[in-house]
Amino acid sequence: MKTKEEFIAERKETMDFMISMYCRKKHGQDLCGDCMELRDYAFERIDSCMNNDSQIRCAGCPSRCYNSEMRDRIQDVIGFSRPRMILHPVMLFKKY
């Protein structure tokens, strides 16, 4: 089992990767202002997550900590990025 710090770092790395991929394809930038705001918000949520000790991911979490606007935005990012991550060379060798 990973340490809490490793788990948080991995979640942040994955979130950063997905948001950067989304922004490059949708906005033509590595990270525009809106996407940077979303990433910072997601990192804040990851840092304050009550499930970091048990290492439950958001999909399996009974409580929702994102406000409705940010939840809609992150769902768009994840819906776009997740299928594309499978084919990305860096993500092929990551263990989740």
Q: Which positions of the chain have pLDDT values less than 70?
A: 88-96
Amino acid found at 80: F
* pLDDT number for residue 96: 45
Q: Find, among 95, 96, 9, the residue nearest to 52 by Cα.
A: 9
Cα separation, 62 vs 31, whole angstroms: 30
**CA 85, 19, 5, 67: dihedral to nearest 10 degrees?**
-120
Cα separation, 2 vs 25, whole angstroms: 32
